[in-house]
Amino acid sequence: MAVPIRLATSSSSITLLASTSTSSTIFTKFKSISHLGSSFSVTDTTTNFSKNSLLFRYPNGKRMVHVLAKATLGLTYPAVIESPKISFTAKDTDLVEWKGDILAVGVTEKDMIKDENSIFQNIVLKKLDSRLNGLLSEVSKEEDFTGKAGQSTVLRLSGLGTKRVCLIGLGKGPNGSSTSAYKSLGESVALAAKASQANNVAIALASSEDLTPGLKLTTASAIASGALLGTYEDNRFKSESKKLALKSVDFLGLGAGPELEKKLKFTEDVCAGVILGKELVNAPPNVLTPEVLAEEALNIASKYSDVFTATILDTEQCKELKMGSYLGVAAASTNPPKFIHLCYKPPAGSIKTKLALVGKGLTFDSGGYNIKTGPGCLIELMKFDMGGSAAVLGAAKSLGQIKPTGVEVHFIVAACENMISGTAMRPGDILTASNGKTIEVNNTDAEGRLTLADALVYACNQGVDKIVDLATLTGACIVALGPSIAGIFTPSDNLAKEVVAASEVAGEKLWRLPMEESYWDSMKSGVADMVNTGGRQGGSITAALFLKQFVDEKVEWLHIDMAGPVWNDKKKAATGFAVPTLVEWVMANSSS
């Protein structure tokens, strides 16, 4: 049954009939809905329509064709690429009897220990080496393969059931729920499969007998996550791309049954959200505008209409809500702002907790009149300044598939661009946020916190119990924690424990930094309630203290500064960071 999706604007009502084809999403088409001076609801239907048009139905039943004439700058449109679809199966097959393209074995440094006769002491490796007539021992010695993390060696074989045997180092060995080590194992297997264009692989651990049933589940999940994400390549903006070869992965010695199948399905759902997050951040700013980001949110709401509703606010509606801080940032761009609000409610049962995920959504940040200049300013990478919103929408997609019970979740993004023009906010301007607090703009490049201010006020007005906001907010956090660790700030010890616990399950790195209240003195203004930046010293802390001014004291709140881990400089691509942590946190608050 069709479920209405609300887009708030003004005056009369029109119904937009949108295709629900799964082969081509709104984000893939990158169509832009022009500004209409009337409110309308988008209804999920199966009506077909022209590739270059949308059908509008007025209340009197008449139709008109609205041609979407807006083209992306540079005539750049993304190609439709294939997301990895890998079949995961648990088997009891002895690894020396398995038949296929690649047999991959994860080994620790301890597993690689040999006796005085150069024979492996590890039972699994000893058995495998015996079948290979000592070749495994010989090659590992010649290549100095000791099982260190990051090491791998591949043997091309003939006359055996498997074409290749691949040993992948796990270092000293994962302890407890060391998700990241097993994810790396899965990624290494994916790389080996790409290199040889393998269709099927088997993955085993040289030492799995000590793993509890619960650890076997989390281990298989982490390996599957690494394999899925390691297989994926974002080639939408390349003129040529290879087709994915890997089709199936067999787990050997990691258990079987419905619990494992359920865990692997959960992993696939999370990875779908991570891939969406990567695609949103990777998309160039001439393609991914605030409007297109809003359209992707609508696509999620349409696809999972049994649990989602969507509200998209335009400039006029934001003015009515007195969002002066957000609109001040958006004022210079010809691409209008879009305030995005998705609401998840479970298909059945009562709600015990209400949560909000708020993501910074700067689809491009020039710095404004405090323009980003000079080496290291990263202006060419400012497409990733909407990494927080990408994490929020990626989590929304995953949760739309998982459908946790007992929890209501609000996904909120104040999307816009920070540009320069005659209408831009200037250093010295005073903005009034929707909670009535005034802000003297002493730096137009500290714009993300200005958009988040009104988004946090809006989130509190939804009656939520807890809020997590995410933003590529400060370079200071990268200086403090480097490229792989996100900083977290919160007055709530309990919420900090919840989110850190979720990140450990997800295999992502967070570090709690202090909210030193005495630093607020540097944020005081002589003519307004506050300035928007306190200078270089403790920049991440003062940014968090600024955000705190817009959160209701009754609401638990945590801020994640993810400026470092949003981007992998070596791969020159987005990471999809925080999607797994957000999903795990919501699940921990649900009754599922």
Given a contact cutoff of 8 angstroms between Cβ atoms, the answer to whether 441 and 427 are in contact is: yes
Element containing residue 364 per DSSP (H, E): strand 353-365
Q: Between vectors from CA 361 to CA 485 and to CA 354, what angle results, nearest 5°?
A: 80
Phi then psi for residue 98, to 5 deg, are: -70, 145
Helix, strand or coil, per DSSP, at residue 365: strand
> For residue 490, which amino acid is it?
T
Closest CA to 201 of 243, 234, 245: 245
User: Which residues belong to the active site?
Assistant: 372, 449
Which residue do the tokens 């540009």 mark? 419
Element containing residue 183 per DSSP (H, E): helix 179-196
Given a contact cutoff of 8 angstroms between Cβ atoms, the answer to whether 247 and 255 are in contact is: no
Phi then psi for residue 13, to 5 deg, are: -115, 135
- Interatomic CA distance for residues 229 and 580, integer angstroms: 12
Q: Between vectors from CA 130 to CA 125 and to CA 136, what angle results, nearest 5°?
A: 60
Phi then psi for residue 185, to 5 deg, are: -60, -45
Which residues of 406-474 form beta strands (DSSP E)? 407-418, 430-432, 438-440, 466-471
What would the two tokens of residue 358 be? 């708020």
What would the two tokens of residue 107 be? 């080994």
Given a contact cutoff of 8 angstroms between Cβ atoms, the answer to whether 276 and 392 are in contact is: no
- Name the β-bridge partners of 573: 568
Q: Between vectors from CA 578 to CA 573 and to CA 582, what angle results, nearest 5°?
A: 150
Number of helices (H), then strands (E), in the chain: 15, 24
> For residue 424, which amino acid is it?
A
In sequence order, what DSSP letters do the residues of 493-535 get, joined into one string? HHHHHHHHHHHHHHT--EEE----GGGGGGG--SSSSEES---
What would the two tokens of residue 230 be? 């390691």
Given a contact cutoff of 8 angstroms between Cβ atoms, the answer to whether 359 and 388 are in contact is: yes
540-551 burial: b if 16+ Cβ within 10 Å, else e:
bbbbbbbbbbbb
> For residue 188, which amino acid is it?
S
> For residue 241, which amino acid is it?
S
Phi then psi for residue 565, to 5 deg, are: -80, 0
Given a contact cutoff of 8 angstroms between Cβ atoms, the answer to whether 166 and 104 are in contact is: yes
Phi then psi for residue 212, to 5 deg, are: -70, 165
Given a contact cutoff of 8 angstroms between Cβ atoms, the answer to whether 64 and 53 are in contact is: no
What would the two tokens of residue 289 be? 């505008």
Give first-to-last CA distance, the chain, whole Å.
25
